[in-house]
Structure 1
Amino acid sequence: MELRQLRYFLAIVDAQGLSRAAKQLHVAQSALSRQVADLEAELGVPLLVRSRTGVAVTEAGKVLYEYGQGIAKLVGDARTAVHFAAGSVAGSVVLALPQSVAAMLALPLMRAAASRHPDIVLHVNEELTGNMTDQMLSGRVDMAIFTPTMPAQDIVFTPLVEEPFVLIHSAQDAQAPPPGGVTVEQAVSRPLVLPSQHHGHCTRWIVDAA
């Protein structure tokens, strides 16, 4: 078993599909599929069930994923420790960003990191907000920029910016609330267009908790 194969497998499970994982890793989808097939052949068990809608993880795949997360974390920690022992600031950092934030910040952050810390490789992963806490707790991600939906033990949150929470409605809406502010209770009493629960979006969490 090669570390590259394990890393590819973890990425596919995290991305819930081959095509998205291939984009995140900057690897051809065919090469990604071949590496996982080789890993399955070596282990003698199927790890993923492929379909038109994506991939599902088998029971054997779930076991490998659990161990693989720990292995990936240990490898990353070992590399960082070696560089620190040599007196240099170097290594690999994985940053998770929501898709909407990545479109604005990914490139500037990577340029700034390359300029200020040329020996550090910054990997930017686009993730669903609902996955980020688990990604950090498992060690697959070193840090993330997102709006937390609920407190999480063992994760330190540092506020970066505050955004207004607004209700958008038609100017012709006869039942629109008066100008000057609206409470969450008033907002949720109306039919709303919201992200699905699967995405773990902060807006959905706030509305569901109200």
Structure 2
Amino acid sequence: MARSRRRAHVAGRILGLLLLIIGLSFIGLLWFDILGIVDARALLYPVLKTVGLTPSAQRINPDDPLLLDRERLIKSEKEVLLDREDLQIQAKNLAKKDEEVQQKLSALEDRIKQEKDRENSFNAMKKMAEDRKANLEQSALYLNSMPPSKAVPILLQMDDQSIIDLFRVVDAQAQAQGKSSIVPAWLAQMPPDRAAAIQRKMVLKPGN
């Protein structure tokens, strides 16, 4: 029993000395690394890799002639990333503004189209009125050139409003020429009921 205890005591002392030696060696290695004599990370890399403690950051060598260039490059990369983010934000803002402008342009184009359609409709109606006036003036000259006995049958084939419009054109032409209108003669040769209806409508809706 005494021998077993002595052996255990000796084994414990040996283990303690080994741990002390390892600890002192590790401290010395770190100290040499600080002094730049050895690269502790390079020496310990296989051990750290085995236990899964591989350092992620690379060791910076203060004597590296490219150290400043690398730092400038890292700084430039950060600035580029910031500029890129800023450009992306500006691009989004511009896209939003462009969408708003496109909507306003679309609304403006619709309004212009409506105004154009309204103008075209007005011009078409104006042309129709001018064409109708020209036709009435031509018809008035044609009927005024023939005897009432021949003109009245032609007039009776027209509706009341067309006859009234034609009578007004004939009256205007006669007034412009300083002559008497032939309209009373035409009315006198029309059937009494038709003539009365036309005269009544002319009174209810006098011409301009």
Same fold (TM over 0.5): no
- Which structure is richer in relative contact order (CA contacts within 8 A, separation 6 or more)? 1
Specify which structure has the higher proportion of strand.
1
Q: TM-score range by the shorter chain?
A: under 0.3
Question: Normalization by structure 1: what TM-score?
Answer: 0.18
Question: Normalization by structure 2: what TM-score?
Answer: 0.18
Specify which structure has the higher proportion of helix.
2
